[in-house]
A and B are shown apart, each in its own frame.
Chain A
């Protein structure tokens, strides 16, 4: 990849199969070890400890966080600048979202690219400590990352001490405060932090969390420069991003797509026709359920989706074949079960919301139950210690608005889709095993 112009795509899916349009690539599963990594991408050393260089590159094109909140990395770094020397950097690869698999796939393929990004970011802020936070259920990826750290030790200077930590179980374990809680060994559940982690996080130090995909992009951006980085993509959204695409059959693919690629093109490349799909979940469980007609007109670009009123979240696009009302019912039910049980409005309110929504999926929908959903949404919004209730409320509100006509059908005792297979939520065995 040292010849910048030749290898503008694929990036994170380096070596993977590329579509004929050269805009979609599948991420391969084999790991790139240290020697191959250095021969492909070059050493990271010249880019360490250069905050100014990093800031220049980031000011020329916005790198949005890929963990779900899409917060610009340059703004994040600017906030931590005054804490230089005290900062702890954390690469968050704990993806609590069941439907998101991109972090796992990325860590299995490019552990060194993530470690590069972590050391670039950490050394720029003079951090002494770095953590790479992983999902507890994936022993294989924990082993790969630990081996990668061992491979580099003594060969390549990290400048920061990097160690792996393991997330708690459950959906909320990937949220910012839960990650800090897990690293501090406080239980791995979300904490109440009126002063954000920027003041006091891991070991009571200012803590910068970044998604592993953001760090991998950062490692490439610092190496090859912003001109190379923005050579593909759209004007507002340059570069590429990883998505997890769930097919109606229940299997998934982790793909790297050029920003701005039409969803229709991605679906076509994966061999999905519009007739197979009734609706799709965009952005994961904190996202929105969208009917297939709308979904086919969207593009894989955060700025485009934002202007259309959606968000990419953690890059999940999950296609379903069942009735959108039933699918929403199952997702809200799943979220209610995944509540950490810490805040009253969440552990009491979400089951109530799930129960009410379930009655909408049956054939005796009443106007009272619809208005009860509205009432519960107003009551629950913003009431949790983490964003869990807000996510469920967003899904409920948008589904209610978007599938109003389908609800009227249900009111008349009809359903135009059928129950569906419920593949958008984990099978019950997964929940029981947890």
Chain B
């Protein structure tokens, strides 16, 4: 129980406003199997190439897209979407 609390408690997003942070999105090309869900959920940043694999338009993740990006991170079948906060 305590560990679970610590999980969200220590997440930087909880204490810092997301617009004060630098947030980046990355895709692990080795894990990616080209399901294409990320491009459905985050078309602003991700488009698919001719084989259905994602191309990142920008590494920078604007705060407005953070929730969508988190959804893509969570729903990727191979967990290949990575969001990093600094």
List B contacts of A194 (CB < 8 A): 26, 28, 82, 84
List B contacts of A371 (CB < 8 A): none
A282 to B33, alpha carbons, bound, how many Å? 34
Decide: A191 and B30 in contact? CB cutoff 8 A: yes
CB-CB nearest in chain A for B29: A343
Decide: B30 and A190 in contact? CB cutoff 8 A: yes
Decide: B30 and A343 in contact? CB cutoff 8 A: yes
Tell me which residues from 177 to 210 in chain A have a Cβ below 8 Å from any Cβ of chain B.
190-192, 194
Interface size on B, residues (CB 8 A): 16
Decide: A349 and B51 in contact? CB cutoff 8 A: yes
Check: A384 CB closer than 8 A to any chain B CB. Answer: yes
List B contacts of A342 (CB < 8 A): 29-30
List A contacts of B31 (CB < 8 A): 192
List A contacts of B30 (CB < 8 A): 190-192, 342-343, 385
Q: Given that A194-B82, A344-B32, A344-B34 are contacting pairs, would A379 and B26 also be in contact in the complex, using a CB cutoff of 8 Å?
A: no
Tell me which residues from 381 to 433 in chain A have a Cβ below 8 Å from any Cβ of chain B.
383-385
List B contacts of A349 (CB < 8 A): 49, 51
A344 to B29, alpha carbons, bound, how many Å? 8
Given contacts A343-B29, A345-B51, A379-B49, 6 further A-B contacts (CB under 8 A): A191-B30, A192-B30, A344-B52, A379-B50, A383-B49, A383-B55
List A contacts of B33 (CB < 8 A): 344
List B contacts of A38 (CB < 8 A): none
B69 to chain A, nearest CB (A): 16
B29-54 to A contact mask, C-beta < 8 Å, 1/0: 11111100000000000000111110
Decide: B50 and A192 in contact? CB cutoff 8 A: no
Contact residues of A with B, CB < 8 Å?
190-192, 194, 342-345, 348-349, 379, 383-385
Q: Given that A194-B82, A383-B55 are contacting pairs, would A343 and B50 also be in contact in the complex, using a CB cutoff of 8 Å?
A: no
User: How many inter-chain residue pairs (CB < 8 Å) link A and B?
Assistant: 42
A212 to chain B, nearest CB (A): 27
Decide: B29 and A383 in contact? CB cutoff 8 A: yes
Decide: B26 and A345 in contact? CB cutoff 8 A: no
A233 to chain B, nearest CB (A): 40
Q: Given that A192-B28, A385-B30 are contacting pairs, would A344 and B53 also be in contact in the complex, using a CB cutoff of 8 Å?
A: yes
Decide: A345 and B49 in contact? CB cutoff 8 A: yes
29 A-B pairs (CB sep. < 8 Å): A192-B28, A192-B30, A192-B31, A194-B26, A194-B28, A194-B82, A194-B84, A342-B29, A343-B29, A343-B32, A343-B53, A344-B29, A344-B32, A344-B33, A344-B34, A344-B51, A344-B52, A344-B53, A345-B51, A348-B51, A348-B53, A349-B49, A379-B49, A379-B55, A383-B49, A384-B29, A385-B28, A385-B29, A385-B30
A345 to B30, alpha carbons, bound, how many Å? 10
List B contacts of A348 (CB < 8 A): 51, 53
List B contacts of A343 (CB < 8 A): 29-30, 32, 53
B28 to chain A, nearest CB (A): 5
A44 to chain B, nearest CB (A): 39
List B contacts of A345 (CB < 8 A): 29, 49, 51, 53
A383 to B52, alpha carbons, bound, how many Å? 13
A93 to B12, alpha carbons, bound, how many Å? 43
Decide: B29 and A192 in contact? CB cutoff 8 A: yes
List B contacts of A191 (CB < 8 A): 30
CB-CB nearest in chain A for B51: A348
A190 to B29, alpha carbons, bound, how many Å? 11
CB-CB nearest in chain A for B80: A192
B71 to chain A, nearest CB (A): 21
A342 to B53, alpha carbons, bound, how many Å? 12
A282 to chain B, nearest CB (A): 28
A236 to B33, alpha carbons, bound, how many Å? 46
CB-CB nearest in chain A for B32: A344
A378 to chain B, nearest CB (A): 10
A379 to B26, alpha carbons, bound, how many Å? 17
A348 to B34, alpha carbons, bound, how many Å? 11
A59 to B33, alpha carbons, bound, how many Å? 46
A279 to chain B, nearest CB (A): 31
List A contacts of B26 (CB < 8 A): 194
A344 to B26, alpha carbons, bound, how many Å? 16
CB-CB nearest in chain A for B34: A344
List A contacts of B84 (CB < 8 A): 194
A192 to B79, alpha carbons, bound, how many Å? 13
A383 to B47, alpha carbons, bound, how many Å? 13
